[in-house]
Amino acid sequence: MSVFWIALFATLAGTVIASLLACLPGLHIYNVMGALVLAIIALVDTQWAIAPEIYLPMMAAMIVGWSMVNTIPAVLLGTPDESAMFTVLPGQKYLMDGRGFEGTMITAVGGLAGAFFLILVVAPFAPRYLPVSQEVLKGHMHWVLWIIITFMLMSEWPKGGNRGPAGWAKFYDAWKTLLAGLATFFLAGLLGFIILTRSPVSHEVAFQNIMPAFVGLFAIPWCLLNIISAADMPKQTVTKSLAVNGDIILRSVWSGSLGGGLAAYFPIVTGGVGGMLAGHATAQRDERIFIMGQGVSKFIYFVGSFILMFVPGLHLTRGGGAWMAKTLYTPSGISDYYLILGSIAVASAVAYLLMEPLTKLTLKFISRYNYRHVSSVALAIIILMVWGITGWIGVFIMAVGTGIGLLPVLFGSRRLNCLGILLFPIACNMSGFGETITGWLGLT
Amino acid sequence: MKGFSHFMSGVAVASFGPWAIEAAQQGNPIFFILGGACGILPDTIDFKFYRFFYEHDVYITPDPLNPDPQYVANEFARAVALAVDEKRYVRVKLVSVRLGADFWQQYSVKIDNEKLEVQVKFGPVVNTGQVPVKGTENRYPTVATAKLKAKVIQTYDAALKVDIFDGPTIGFKPMDNGDLDLEFLPWHREWSHSLTVGAILGVLLGAVAWWASGWTMAWQVFVTIAACYGVHVVEDQLGHMGSNIFYPLTKNRTPGLHWMHSGDGLPNFLAVWISCLFIFWNLYRGVPKPTYHFSFIHLMMVGLVIPGLIFWGLRKLLTLGQNVQMKKGDDADDEWNESKAAG
Amino acid sequence: MSNDKQALPGHETQSHEMNCINCGRFVGAVSKCPYCGAKVEKRMSLVAVRWAAVLLATIGLFLLYLMAKYREIPVVKLGDVTPTMNFAQIRIEGQAQSDARTFRNGGMGFTVSDGTGVIMVFMSPKQAKDLAASDRVPKAGDKVNFAGGLSVAEDEASVRLISTKDFQITRAPAAAVRLANITDAMVGKSIVIAGKVVDVFPPPANTKRPYALKIQDDSGEQTVNFWQSEYDQIQGKDVLNGAYVRLRVSVDTYQDKIQLKLAAGGDLEILDGPPTEAYSSPGKKAAATYAKKKATAATPARDFSRGRSVQSNSLSVSEVTTALDGKTVRVRGRVDSVKPPQEGTKQPFAVMLKDKDAALRVTYWPAVDEVIPVKPTPGTLFEMEGVVEVYQDTPQLKVKSGYKVKLVDDAPASAPAVDVSRAVPVSSITAANKGETRVVQGTLGVPRALRGGVAYTLTDDSGSIDLVLWESLVPTDVLGALAEGVKVAVSGEVGEYEGQLQLKADRGYSAMVIP
């Protein structure tokens, strides 16, 4: 069979597998890819060894499928409980308005638009311009992280302090949420220092060192709050069309590509941070643009960071997917680049086409089964996965991460502050005083 | 301007200092951090510290369960009377009405100087994005009025709209002719948005730098802080509200140039993007032996002009025949809106 | 709820806990009503989750921190490293395979091997500075023990040093070696040399060449190379020229020639005076002290010559007499016979050196023989250094160190390096002869140190010409034999430099001292 057909089937398989897995709440594609990498390594030098023409397109397709379809559980499987949470996320607003389907599909349109942008605009120019920017920015990543941290912490707004006479009581009422945010950031930062300097996880699975913490910070709180949520999901309607036009798509691509691009290019900056920065930069008021832009941003962040490894003349490793692929394969030449771009194009189309049926299926499913039970099952799967890969110590790290990850949701601050787990220690290390801090902590 | 625009402008200004690039190349991020922090600092001081200690004379607090426009109108008129009778500055707080995690009862206060009255109406319920919730537009059709003891002069059109998060403060300043001058958010830019304050801050932190690292670091810190703090003041002067530019030497805010609304999307984006291009250019100039060579014009063409033209062209194409209404922020509300939307 | 009109979107399915039970107003997630001040009761599950969050985030994190702090980082063999260990913190116990080198950004790197694999170790500029300040910069052969963060890619793996505090180093012993004794067998090792700095050549501007320090001891001359970063670290570099120094250098090769490299400025020590010899054992020290005491003022200068058929200033066989009893001398002669010890006996090796009619018996133990790089064989010209002992009124030489047994020439004595019969007068050489080979003989003038070589003015009865000998072409033992006033025969290529004719000595043994 020719390489073309092998790659095509691998792409289709990866897309379908990831799209189905993406419907499960709390499961991140990098966890699944981690297991895939383990399997590939185990099969090396055996008769079942998997060739790069199979696993590279498959990995790319998995990332595409997940980043597109993951919107479904993010929007549909998370009813905000206003007695427990301080803020309602934009996708959740649609859900509570009975327009969950619409919100999901608008995000999917964003993902598809992001795919067009990546393949038709970014990909042709990347080999020409990205090496230039890399040469200029190479030694400056450290302060870029620092200014992101500075802005993250300084731009968080107090949620209280709106009532009552002026004075310290009012000030404290306002700053409670900000202090929760700062506490989240620095506690997550400390967790990051521990994991990056002296991780208790076995060195044999160190490539998943950070996974238990991330699962604890983001996935578990989401599942837990769903389980204890006292709010029920309103009845959902399935619309035949979306209230979007070309102008909305264009502006969504503008803001989403900026956020996703920043996140893909700069190390440690994730999609959430990129989205926050782009949102502030583009100041779009229309909620459709916000939702669609999130779809664009997420797609470009996950897929774009994977592509960077294959850009000729650049070969930058960004994102968990690329780091895992790097342990298996070193890209060389333009053919690898075209292979990945082709896989992404096919996978984007297939994933988008799967969105509508999967969304409808999920709506049917959650109308039948309580979302709390679904979240319980998801929670069990996640815990099992963490335990299976990293053992009991991983579960303990996950538990600590859960505690930190719950703070922003329950005490009114930004979840983004949890990214201090990577931002803070790595910014310190890049600036040369990480070792000083770990010395004070007694970790080195 | 929005906080991020100020922040990136501060970082861009900092990047013009060769010492900042050199320090960054040696792993020291301090000048860029100072630049960004000082770029956003004036608003941080006001919105995250000062406003919680700003005393008010009258708190207008509608009841969420029973929003009464007449109560609001009466209290407003009482505050005006207080300012007229006691011939003093009176500060009024219009408290917001929260109905849910994502829902706020909007109400508007309009001054009619011809009729010498204030008109209050409770509008729709809005979400945190200030988008009205369908079906709530006519919950409270009544427009309440109350007579005012004096004319209330607004130097810029401010439809006082109260909705999300913290409600605005207004100040009534008696004028010589008996009218009252309405100041929106009097605590904002009262003293924080001042070039002098920036310089003083620069001197203070420069002194710390001198003690820690010597004279060179001291003046570099001073220049960075003063310039980056100052750029915020300059940018805000492009809007409507203006700032008290030379506090404590000046007493009042100098009105802005009215060139833009602080919440306008395009000026904010351009401020951010051009700042990024300037930063890139300054970093490029600091590369010791660059492999790639390009001019400033080339950078601007590739980074701004060409993509901008393409975007504009595409937009024109996509909106052909459509009447696209860009929701503009209200002039006075914009200063408030930027802080609220950033939350 | 605000009123009893239609519920806001989603509120119809929300919990009643979002409103104050006392006044009915929306309070959300807070636990005290901001309107009436009443306590807002929350369900047990939410209260439990809040407490769990706080406890896990604080106490849980603290416990995790303690667990990490007191955890031993495991020792992992490099041969056992797998891709799944990417990002792992491991401990490596091994030996540095190379001197640490400094990168442009100030960081440092070296390779380490633990017997099962080899890996590159990287350090940040700050860590490099810390190690340099505490004299723990690894050199080839040093044993190291440290913790590092693994980075495993498909085609390579590397380790980033976690902390300098934890970095343990045991220096490999570096033997003190005379300059002339440096051989290819020492490549990859660190040695200690001492001598007088003849000159220091900085790199030419806008080049990437290193510094060249010419050092001379009583056995010869060598060049030591180092970079600007090392030069900056040298204490007292202003008085370096002409000073006596001791250096720890690594022996490497460059363009098939031995190259000595200084890894750190701290490895160069400026001495107050001529260096005293370093001794590897008290016995040797005692022997040397004894030899020194017995030495007379008339002891000939040690000019260790090893040129092919070059008669050196070291003693000839016939010059070794009983008067030199107890003295350490260097003798050159042709090996007539070599008699190894009989098996099962404790006899020494016995070598007969001959020089015309004179013969000298040289003895050394098997342990010394082991170290001799090129063993003496009949017919070869050797130079040996040892202590003169008198036995039955006959002097013999006792060699204590195999490094002091050097092959001079393995060609028969009948084939001198330079054919003196072809010598021409200096005045006969003109610019028209540029590029041609000529043989001249004459007396050497004052040497002028060059970067990478030495120059003399060679004068015969007809005139003078500049003679240039490059280290890259001419063996050091030949160079070592040359000095002011020595009469030599040289074969070289005619050239011109700045309008002056010069003779560039040919590659190999192209210069020989004429008695």
For the stretch C69-88, pLDDT in tens is 999 999 999 999 988 898 99
pLDDT bin (cut points 50, 70, 90) of residue C5 is low
Question: Do the Cβ atoms of A171 and B53 come within 8 Å?
Answer: yes
Tell me the pLDDT band of B284, cut-offs 50, 70 and 90. very high
Percent helix / strand / coil, chain C, rounded to 5? 20, 35, 45
Mean pLDDT, range C100-122, rounded to an integer: 87
Whether B330 shows a pLDDT value over 70: the answer reads no
| Nearest residue in chain A measured CA to CA from C128 | A432
Q: Are A208 and C75 in contact (CB under 8 A)?
A: no
Looking at CA atoms only, how far is residue C188 from chain B in angstroms? Answer: 33
pLDDT at C305: 31
**Is B137 an 8 Å CB contact of chain C?**
no
Q: Which of B29, B55, B314 shows the shortest C-beta gap to A250?
A: B314
Work out the widest C-alpha separation in chain C, in whole angstroms.
132
Of A133, A167, A284, the CB nearest to B265: A284
Amino acid C281: pLDDT: 42
Interface touch C26/B64, C-beta < 8 Å: yes
Task: For chain A, positions 346-405, list CB contacts with chain C under 8 A.
Answer: 393, 396-397, 399-400, 402-404
Averaged pLDDT for residues A40-69: 90
CATH superfamily of C78-170: Nucleic acid-binding proteins (2.40.50.140)
Write the DSSP symbol of residue C114: -
pLDDT > 90: percent of chain B: 61
Please check whether residue B288 touches C, CB under 8 A. no
Q: Which residue type, as a one-letter code, is found at position B70?
A: Q
| pLDDT classification of B158: cutoffs 50, 70, 90 | low
Which residues 75-104 of A have a C-beta within 8 angstroms of B?
80, 82, 85-88, 90, 93, 96
Beta carbons of C98 and C111 less than 8 angstroms apart: yes
ipTM (interface pTM): 0.89
Q: Name the pairing type of β-strands C453-459 and C448-450.
A: antiparallel
Across the range C482-498, mean pLDDT stands at 88
- Chain C residues with CB-CB distance to A194 below 8 A: 64-65, 68
Tell me which residues of chain C have a C-beta less than 8 Å from any C-beta of chain B: 1-3, 5-6, 8-11, 18, 23-26, 28-29, 35, 125
Mean pLDDT value of segment A66-92: 82
Q: Are the C-beta atoms of residues B113 and B152 closer than 8 Å to each other?
A: yes
Cβ–Cβ gap A81/C82 under 8 Å: no
Chain A window 68-97: which residues touch C at a Cβ cutoff of 8 Å? 79-86, 93, 95-97
With beta carbons under 8 A apart, name residues in chain B contacting C9: 133
Nearest beta carbon to residue C69 from set A82, A435, A443 = A443
A159 CB within 8 Å of a chain B CB = yes
How does the average pLDDT of chain C come out, rounded?
Answer: 82
Q: Which residues of C touch A207 (CB under 8 A)?
A: 83-88, 152
Query: Stretch A95-123: mean pLDDT, rounded?
Result: 92
Which of B299, C152, B37 shows the shortest CA–CA distance to A328? C152
Cross-chain Cβ contact C9/B65 below 8 Å: no
Q: What residue segments make up the domains of chain B, in order of their start?
A: 3-49+193-342, 55-184
User: Do C78-170 and C175-270 share a fold?
Assistant: yes
d(CA A86, CA A103): 21
Q: Which residues of chain C lie closer than 8 angstroms to A41, CB-CB? A: 82-84
Please, which pLDDT band fits residue C123 given cuts at 50, 70 and 90?
very high
pLDDT tens, position by position, C134-177: 888 898 888 999 999 998 876 678 999 998 988 999 988 778 88
* Average model confidence (pLDDT) across chain B: 88
In A, residues 230-249, which contact B (CB 8 Å cutoff)?
245-247, 249
Write out chain B residues lying below 8 Å of C3, CB-based.
Answer: 65-66, 139
Measured torsion, CA atoms of residues A373, A378, A382, A383, in degrees rounded to the nearest 10: 10
Comparing alpha-carbon positions, the chain B residue that sits nearest to C5 is: B139
Which of A143, A147, A133, A281 is closest to B280 using CA atoms?
A: A133
pLDDT digits (tens, 9 = 90+) for A138-174: 889 999 999 999 999 999 988 888 888 889 999 999 9
Q: What are phi and psi of C458, to 5 degrees?
A: -100, 125
How far apart are the C-alpha atoms of B306 and A350, rounded to whole Å? 33
What per-residue confidence (pLDDT) applies to C285? Answer: 45
Q: What is the pLDDT of residues C389-430, one digit of tens each?
A: 898 889 999 998 887 888 876 555 544 567 788 889 999 999
Closest alpha carbon to B152 in B190, B187, B114: B114
CB atoms C152 and A187 under 8 Å: no
Predicted local confidence at residue B265, as pLDDT: 79
Residue C168 in tokens: 């343990």
According to the model, what pLDDT value does residue C280 have?
44
Q: What average pLDDT does this structure show over C495-511? A: 87
How far, in whole angstroms, is CA B43 from its chain's centroid? 7
pLDDT at position B200, please? Answer: 94
- Among residues C399, C400, C393, which one has the least CA distance to residue C321? C393
CA of C24 to nearest chain B CA: how many angstroms apart? 8
- Residues in chain A closer than 8 A to B40 (CB atoms): 151, 154-155
With 0-12 / 13-18 / 19 or more C-beta atoms within 10 angstroms meaning exposed / middle / buried, residue A133 is middle
- Mean per-residue pLDDT for A348-356? 95
B248 prior amide bond cis, ω within 30: yes
Within the 214-243 window of chain A, which residues sit less than 8 Å (CB to CB) from chain C? 224-225, 228, 230-234
The predicted pLDDT at position C7 comes to: 74
Helix or strand (DSSP H, E) at A271: helix A271-282
A157 and chain B in contact, CB less than 8 A: yes
Q: Give the pLDDT band of residue B49 (cuts 50, 70, 90).
A: very high
Three-state secondary structure call for residue C394: strand
Chain-wide mean pLDDT for chain A?
A: 90
CB contact under 8 A, B11 and A280: no
| Residue A333 forms contact with B (CB below 8 Å) | no
Cβ burial of C39 (10 Å; 0-12, 13-18, 19+) is: exposed
pLDDT over threshold 60, residue C472: yes
What pLDDT is stored for residue B159 in this prediction?
A: 66
Bigger pLDDT: B320 vs B273 = B273
Q: What is the mean pLDDT of residues C219-244?
A: 85
> Per-residue pLDDT averaged across C223-250, rounded?
86
- The residues that bridge with C355 in the sheet, in sequence order, are C358
Q: Which of B181, B173, B166, B174 is nearest to B94 (CA)?
A: B166
pLDDT of C374 strictly over 80: no
Strand C328-339 relative to strand C315-316: parallel, antiparallel, unpaired? parallel
Phi, psi of C380 (to 5 degrees): -85, 150
Candidates 2.40.160.40, 3.30.70.100, 3.90.1150.10, 2.40.50.140; CATH matching C294-409: 2.40.50.140
Q: Does B60 score more than 90 pLDDT?
A: yes
Residue contact B99–C2, C-beta within 8 A? yes
Q: What pLDDT does residue B156 have?
A: 60
Q: For the residues A357-379, what does the mean pLDDT come to?
A: 89
Helix (H) or strand (E) holding C352: strand C349-355
Sort out which chain A residues have CB atoms less than 8 A from B24's CB and list them: 139-140, 142-143
Is B165 touching A (CB cutoff 8 A)?
yes
Q: How far is A272 from chain B (nearest CA, A)?
A: 15
Tokens representing residue C285 in the block: 């020290």
**A121 and chain B in contact, CB less than 8 A:** no
Chain C contact partners (≥3 CB pairs within 8 A)? A, B
Task: Write out residues 53-112 of B within 8 Å (CB-CB) of A.
Answer: 53-56, 59, 61, 95-96, 98, 100-102
What residue type is B274 in one-letter code? I
With CB atoms and an 8 Å threshold, state whether C23 touches B65.
Answer: yes
User: Please, which pLDDT band fits residue C4 given cuts at 50, 70 and 90?
Assistant: very low
Token pair in block for residue C440: 């001249």
Q: Where are the domains of chain C?
A: 78-170, 175-270, 294-409, 420-513
Contacts of residue C6 in chain B, CB cutoff 8 Å?
135
Identify the bridge partners of residue C444 per DSSP, sorted by sequence position.
C458
Contact C3 B105 (CB under 8 A): no
Q: How far apart are CA B330 and CA B118, in angstroms?
A: 19
What mean pLDDT is predicted for residues C475-497? 85
Q: Please name the helix (run of DSSP H) or strand (run of DSSP E) that holds residue A404, with its range, or none.
A: helix A371-411
According to the model, what pLDDT value does residue C304 have? 30
Per-residue model confidence as pLDDT tens digits over A260-301:
998 999 988 888 888 888 888 887 777 788 889 889 999 999
What is the phi/psi pair of residue B162, to 5°?
A: -110, 120
Mean pLDDT of the region B321-333: 51
pLDDT of residue C286: 45
Contacting residues of C for B122, CB less than 8 Å apart: none
The DSSP code for C142 is -
Q: What is the CATH number of domain C175-270?
A: 2.40.50.140
Residue predicted with more confidence, A183 or C481: A183
Residue B164: is its pLDDT beyond 70? yes
Specify the range with the lowest mean pLDDT, choosing from A242-246, B16-20, B154-158: B154-158
Provide the pLDDT for residue C439.
92
List the single residue in B101, B130, B291 with the smallest CB-CB distance to A87. Answer: B101
For residue C113, with 0-12 CB atoms within 10 Å meaning exposed, 13-18 middle and 19 or more buried, which class applies?
Answer: middle
CB-CB neighbors (< 8 A) of A190 in chain C: 61, 65
Cβ B33–A150 below 8 Å, yes or no? yes
* Closest among C330, C273, C278, C280 to C305, alpha carbons compared: C330
CATH tag, C420-513: 2.40.50.140
CA-based nearest distance B107→chain C, Å: 14
pLDDT band at residue A333 under the 50/70/90 scheme: confident
Residue closest to B168 by CA, chosen among B181, B182, B148, B151:
B182
